[in-house]
Structures are given as structure tokens and as C-alpha cells.
Structure 1
Amino acid sequence: MADQNHPARTDSRPRRSQTLTRLALGGAMTFAGVSHLTTARKEFQAQVPDWFPASKDLVVLGSGVAEIGLGAALLALPKHRKVTGTALAAFYALIFPGNIAQYAERTDAFGLDSDAKRLGRLFGQPALIAAALWAGGIPARRS
């Protein structure tokens, strides 16, 4: 048991589920980023709110590059999983207003063609944030 003189030690080794989550998110983000730049570019543009003060195409290209970078970092830099997982969680938080706008403005994209589906996606975003943190080893493993 930890006390003031002997704080609880943490083990930096990831759990198997953290490694699997890191690899899954890394692959998914890399794939999503590539699709931002290629096959799904128009559909991603439809998700950028009209009120956002930048070109929709520039936002899609920039977020695609960010997703490729974050996904590749998750896959290739396991020793830096805390930084990459935290960065991905922050990215998910930054794009959340766009998901809210998609719901509020009733924008159809990627099969999200009903209020119920768009609302369901809003509940998925906190789960993605939690998964990114878990993949990053947060919270730390106690030994």
C-alpha cells in the first residue's frame, strides 16, 4: 500500500489491450487520413461546418495530414505512446465541434443520415478520446 514515504510505483509496460488499442487506432487513423486526401474527400468536406472560417478543402487536407501523422506515430513510436495517445485524444476533442455541428445542422455524410445516427456519433467521440488515452498508457499501470 502507498503512503507519503513510499508512493505507489507504476509499471511503464503497456497492457495487451493498450497495445491492441494503439495498433487499431493507429491503423484506423492512417486509413482515415489517406481517405481524407483521396476517395472520401468530398464527403469529409460536407462535414466541415459552413461557419468554420477556413476553406473546407483546406480543413479536410489539413486534418487528413494530421490523421496520417497521428496514426503513423501511434504505430511506429510505441515508446512515445503517452505523447501520441494524448495528442490523438486532443485531436478528437478539437474535431468534436464539427460532429456537434453535423448533428445540429442535420448534415448527411458517411451514412449518418438521421438525427439518431448523428446523435449516436456524438456519444462515440468521448469513447474515442478514452481509447486514445488508454492506448497512450493513461492511466499508468500500477505495480
Structure 2
Amino acid sequence: MQTNRLQNVFRIILGLFMTLAGIGHLTFQRQEFLAQVPRWLPQDPMFMDFVVLSSGIVEIAFGLSLLFWAKERIKVGLLLALFFILIFPGNISQYTNGISAFGLDTDEKRLIRLFFQPVLILWALWSTGALRTLLDRNKKS
């Protein structure tokens, strides 16, 4: 399954975004990402830091995979969509607990942010060709 030029451009943009976000986890946005660790997880500072650092490493791996592993882009897209689903509880926690981070300093802004997670999921699936693969597979069933 080939992707078109527009999909490739959006895949590269997402790859750059993921790489930058991962670097942010490890460096200049570490405190902001700590605020997104769900409150139902252990709040031990070392554990929370581990969650932020490990998710940053995963995001860098996804970003670099989107940029340089085009042969496996469909698998990467599927896994990235799953990753976006798995980290969604952090966004919900930020909203339900009224935690300010990344400029999301009102309940309205935090609520609006929740609606962007499906956009990221679709972006990952569409830009890698994974969405077409899933849709074609469903047609054959």
C-alpha cells in the first residue's frame, strides 16, 4: 500500500512533532509532562519521572520511525495510534483534576484538548496508510 505525497508530508510533520515532544519529555518540558501523569498512578516522584522519561523515549522512537522507517510505516502508524489511545488517560486526568500545563490553564482549554486526541489517532493512521489498510481489511471480511 503506497501513500501519496500529502500523506508523506503529514507523516514527516508528525514524525518531527513526536521527536520534539520526546526530547521535551527528557529536557525542557519535563515538568509540564509530569503534570500529565494520571493521578490514579502512584505519585512517587521517582515513578512519575520514570513514566515521563520512558514515554519520552518511546515518542522519540516513534518520531524517528515515522521519519526513517518508511518500509514499516503501516505498523508504526498502528502502534502510534495505540500509543495515543494509551496516553489519553493522562489528558483526562489533567482535565478532571484541573491541572495546568502546556498553557491549558482553564477547564475549557483542557476539555477542548481532549477532542484533539482522536485527531492525532486519525493523523497517525491516515498519514502512514494504516487507515486504508484497516478499511480494506474490513471490506474483505
Q: TM-score, normalised by structure 2?
A: 0.88
State the AA in 2 paired with 1:72.
L
1:22 CA drift (Å): 0.7
**Partner in structure 2 of residue 85 of structure 1:** 77
Alignment of 1:27-38 (within 5 A): 27-38=16-27
2:39, 2:93 within 8 Å by CA — same for their partners in 1?
Answer: no
Query: Which structure would you say has the larger Rg?
Result: 1
Structure 1 residues 63-119: Cα deviation after superposition (integer angstroms, max 9, x where no partner):
000000000000001111101111110110000011011111110000000111101
* Distance in 2 (alpha carbons) for counterparts of 1:14 and 1:26: 15
In 2, Cα distance between equivalents of 1:17 and 1:97: 31
Shift of 1:49: 2.0
Which structure 2 residue ranges, 5 or more long, are not aligned? 137-141
Q: CA RMSD in A?
A: 1.5
Query: Which of 101, 106, 109 matches 1:114?
Result: 106
Give the Cα–Cα distance (whole angstroms) in 1 for the partners of residues 76 and 10 of structure 2: 13
Structure 2 residue matching 1:47: 3-state secondary structure: coil
- Check whether the contact 2:78–2:125 (CA below 8 A) recurs between aligned residues: yes
Which amino acid counterpart does residue 78 of structure 2 have in structure 1? Answer: T
Aligned 1:38-77 pairs, distance under 5 A: 38-53=27-42, 55-77=47-69
Matching of residue 139 in structure 1 with residue 128 in structure 2 = no
Q: Which moved more, 1:93-102 or 1:15-24?
A: 15-24
TM-score of the two chains, using structure 1 as the length reference = 0.87
Q: How many residues align?
A: 131
Runs of 4+ in 1 over 3 A off after TM superposition: none
SS at match of 2:115: helix
**Counterparts of 1:35 and 1:96, CA distance in 2:** 18
Gaps of 5+ in 1: 1-11
